[in-house]
Copies of this chain bind each other. A is one copy, B any other.
């Protein structure tokens, strides 16, 4: 049985328990989740002094902890909580950066049902404080990655709230996003996409 977080993501204990990961030197992303690719990219950014961006820990409500003699504390009862923010944030070049990563196996649109109201509210609050907020969207079967700025996403979210379609089409994403180039190091250079987006806004 697949183990899932409340947000529908698969729980992968072997990934979350690996503290240091070796880089994937193959050009393909086969077998790597978007989360893995972003963690690799963030490690690369950190190691090269390019940005300081971390994934937030999954929030857990702890109910019971046991203290075996001469051993580390063991949490014996705990529950997943719904996160009140996005998964990633940090700082790049004086900018506050905040984003959520979304994968879809759909080839023609991004369903909105996996995006939660509280995430959208949080990103709205970030924008209001002059931070940068966006989605990183991966169409896994197309092997394409997009940086979708919150400002471009929000009207399509409102369209759904007003009774319109419950997804964003690929062509809408192509129009409103910056496509992220994939490579070796870093794997997903989304900071370059952020820089391109800022340049586009200020030009």
Interface of A toward B, CB cutoff 8 Å: 1, 3-4, 11, 13, 16-17, 19, 46, 49, 51-52, 54, 56-63, 65, 67, 72-81, 83-85, 89-98, 122, 125-126, 128-131
Contact = CB atoms under 8 A, between A and B. Distances in A.
Given A11-B62, A77-B76, A129 B92 contact: yes
Given A56-B57, A129-B51, A96 B85 contact: no
B93 A129 contact: yes
Contacts of A67: 1, 3
Copies in the assembly, this chain? 2
Contacts of A92: 129
Given A3-B67, A57-B60, A52 B122 contact: yes
A63 B18 CA distance: 12
A93 B130 contact: yes
B129 A52 contact: yes
Minimum-distance CB pairs A-B, first 9? A94-B130, A91-B96, A91-B131, A57-B59, A75-B78, A96-B96, A57-B57, A91-B129, A52-B125
A89 to B, nearest CB: 7
